[in-house]
Structure 1
Amino acid sequence: GGFMLTFILAITSISLSFPLGVLLALGRTSTMPLFRLVSTAYIELVRGVPLITWLLVGAVMLPVFLPEGVEIQGIIRAMFAITFFSAAYLAENVRGGLQSIGKGQYEAAKALGMSTVQMTVFITLPQALRAVIPALVGQVIALFKDTSLVTIIGIFDFLHIARAVIPAQSQPFNFFGTLRETLLFAAILYWVFTFAFSRASLRLEKKLGLGER
């Protein structure tokens, strides 16, 4: 439990949602109607429902549809709910990058005889991801902070333990002082992670020359 659980939950969800988000973005910009329809429906449905609702769906409704005798741990259900949710937002970020690429890039790739897969892997997708690094980092930071919502479904993440330790350690006369200190400590740890990640993003952007002409 605690901060390590929050960290693992965030990193795993990010690792799973990123490739799914890329596939959804490619599907939504595809010229094939079926892929475009499925990807668009997924993105719009997920983005239209709050994360807390998907967490409750995973915690309460998912076990009802599982075969008898099959159980999935609560942390795994929460992880997939967050991944499911975050992928839709990452897909829109990547789609924005794909749409920013000029038609000349596609025409040049076709002139070189590249297939659609080759053009996507070697030309368009790398440029799109490079262009939306700030947006992707912002989504990752938001996802890390959103992991605190798992406390609602009974998972003992960092914030849950920080809140639970207050009544166990405090006396009535100093309860509010302990409350402030404990929650301030939790806020500082969240800030340290997000600040470090944003600084790393700025260094990467500078290295890649984003925003330079």
Structure 2
Amino acid sequence: MTQPDFSFEDAARAKGFAAIAGVDEVGRGPLAGPVCAAAVILDPANIPAGLNDSKKLTAKRRDALYDEIMACADVSLAEATVAEIDQHNILRASHIAMVRAIAGLSRPADFALIDGNMTPRDLAIPSETIIKGDARSLSISAASIVAKVWRDRHMVDLAQQYPHYGWDKNAGYPTAQHKLGLEQFGVTPHHRRSFKPIHNILYQDKNVSG
């Protein structure tokens, strides 16, 4: 199994770029909660060991790496809200979150390595898109880890207010517990109304009450 490396960053550095940010988002699939993005500029001389696609790591390992990354890298986290997801669409909202994350870096990035195959339309700096970048670029791996940990913790917080949907375990994804919660307790302000399962529940309710 191939491991992420620093070759994309090295190639950008060879072209004269100095502050190269890996960028990834998490939370496109859930029915609830914001979509979150992270931008990370790693220090080539101080890269945490064991970086990889966040989905290939245990929660415990992600938490440990999150602390390491936050301590030794320039990190910015940002989100697009449920309202913005419903206003635009999930892809556009994830790109808005990415651009915000890049803009929030304390050291301005001059090049971005973007996970996926689409460049956010409002990106103001040169960039390269990398399919499966979270498993190929160390900077994107770092971004995927901090974005996932940050969003998961946010959903745990929301689960304290709305305990019936299992968000502390499913992070807003459509698990059986989440669907049962929707059936029994309905839609919360944190549900994405533009997503079909939520839209259908609201539409059925309107038809029944109408």
**Shared fold per TM-score greater than 0.5:** no
Give the TM bin, normalised by the shorter chain: under 0.3
Compute the TM-score of the two structures, normalised by the length of structure 1. 0.25
Give the TM-score normalised by structure 2.
Answer: 0.25
**Going by fraction, where is strand more abundant, 1 or 2?**
2
